[in-house]
Amino acid sequence: MTWVVALNTFREAVRDRVLYNLIFFALLMIAAAVLVGQISIGIEHLVIVNLGLTAISIFGLVMAIFIGVGLVYKEIDKRTLYALLARPLRRRQFLVGKYAGLLLTLAVNTALMTLGLAVALFYVSRTFVRSDLSILVAVYFILLKLALVTALALLFSCFSTPMLSTVFTLGLYLAGTFSTDIRSFGEVTESPALGAVTKFLYYLLPNFNNFNAIAAAAYGRQIPLILVAQNTAYAAIYITLVLLAAAAIFSNRDLK
């Protein structure tokens, strides 16, 4: 039943015109990167990879948040959730299915945008080099980030409206992006109490900065395998904890 929910979520998301618009604009940005790269003599590759990966990250983030925050709310609002739960389907299975369906959607869309980036690179360079493999690693890190953002959006959608869930998810994303700066601020103030609070927030917030490998890919630097393993493990553990929290909240929610 979980995979049935996942496939239905994927089909619903694919039929959403917003996704096609976002993919179109992302590919348009990649095409614009080609034009800018041709003007920037000698750094065409750097410009195209930088702008291309940035476009994939931004538009993927928009998809994850604005679709993820409505995953549960729409089912409750349309009254379709009651029919689903009347079947032998537990609430946590429903959540996992919704999450897997959106994650599949993001993976397919990211693959399409990555293909667009590859075409843009080949158009300029007429060949691929070994260092371009770091671009695939950077895309993988973007997917890990989107998977974590999706889990957070799903968590907030279990007890809040789409508008508030969007604010909460976006706020947590921004806080997690600057978590290192938050800890550094506490260390600079030399206040033991504030330092303890900022250090606690540093470990509590999702560290999205860990998944940023755009600069390394743009300059063709090799990304260590140990970093790939660490980011994968970090994302998997954090996502599991968030989904467990979402399942606990949703299981105890009164849907009447």
The tens digit of pLDDT for each residue in 28-61 reads: 766 776 676 566 555 777 888 888 899 889 888 9
Give the pLDDT confidence of 187-198 residue by residue, as tens digits: 777 777 787 888
Q: How many residues would you count in the chain?
A: 256
Average of per-residue pLDDT across 67-90: 69
The count of other CB atoms within 10 Å of the CB of residue 213 is 22
**74 pLDDT band (50/70/90 cuts)?**
confident
- pLDDT greater than 80 at residue 219: yes
Average of per-residue pLDDT across 104-116: 87
Q: How far apart are CA 55 and CA 25, in angstroms?
A: 9
- Cβ 16 vs Cβ 105: under 8 Å: no
> Which of 25-39, 141-155, 201-215, 229-243 is least confident?
25-39
Higher pLDDT pick, 115 / 148: 148
Work out the angle between the directed axes of helices 225-251 and 91-125 (0-180°, nearest 10).
150
Average of per-residue pLDDT across 69-95: 70
Instruction: Please give the pLDDT value at position 85.
Output: 60
**158 pLDDT band (50/70/90 cuts)?**
confident
**226 pLDDT band (50/70/90 cuts)?**
very high
Return the closest-CA partner of residue 26 out of 61, 68, 2, 1.
61
Average of per-residue pLDDT across 162-189: 86
Which of the listed ranges 34-38, 69-73, 110-114 does the model predict with the highest average pLDDT? 110-114
Q: How far apart are CA 21 and CA 226, in angstroms?
A: 36
**244 pLDDT band (50/70/90 cuts)?**
very high
Instruction: Please give the pLDDT value at position 227.
Output: 94
Average pLDDT, the chain: 82
Instruction: Please give the pLDDT value at position 241.
Output: 95
Question: CA Rg, the chain, in Å?
Answer: 20
Give the C-alpha distances (Å, rounded to integers) separating 86 from 2, 10, 14, 55, 81.
14, 22, 26, 42, 9
**237 pLDDT band (50/70/90 cuts)?**
very high
- pLDDT greater than 80 at residue 6: no
Instruction: Please give the pLDDT value at position 232.
Output: 96
